[in-house]
Amino acid sequence: MKRYREFIGGSVFFLFAATYFVMAFQIPTFNDGFISSDFMPKVYGTILMLLSVIQIIPIRPSLPTAEDSPAYVLMQNELEKAGLLEH
């Protein structure tokens, strides 16, 4: 369950944001211009949905570094044995 924590949280957050966005269309408008009383709730709903999608997408693990390779560990051991590297 711990493994899917980000996915579940992002999915619940997305459902909340989608509901918020849909409900923004039910706000009565009082002018005919571009920016009316429902503009900011629509913007907030869109931003919340975008952030929840970013949370749902899994982050790729970082690539292994040279220090993680067996050759590097072997070289470190050999240098320590030869006295050329102090740990």
DSSP 8-state class, residue 20:
H
* 39-72 pLDDT per residue, tens: 899 999 999 999 999 988 876 666 667 777 788 8
Q: What is the pLDDT of residue 82?
A: 83
Match 């009383």 to its residue by tokens. Answer: 37
Highest mean pLDDT among 4-18, 27-41, 61-75: 4-18
Cβ atoms of 9 and 56 within 8 Å: the answer is: no
Q: Side chain identity at 4, as an amino acid letter?
A: Y
Alpha-carbon distance of 63 to 77, in angstroms, equals 23
> C-alpha distances in angstroms, 1 versus 7, 11, 14, 20?
10, 14, 19, 27
* 14-23 pLDDT per residue, tens: 999 999 999 9
In this prediction, residues 65-85 reach a mean pLDDT of 80
User: 11: which residues sit within 8 A by CB, 6+ positions away?
Assistant: 52, 56
Alpha-carbon distance of 21 to 38, in angstroms, equals 10
Q: Side chain identity at 80, as an amino acid letter?
A: E
Residue 32 has pLDDT above 80, yes or no: no
Model pTM score:
0.61
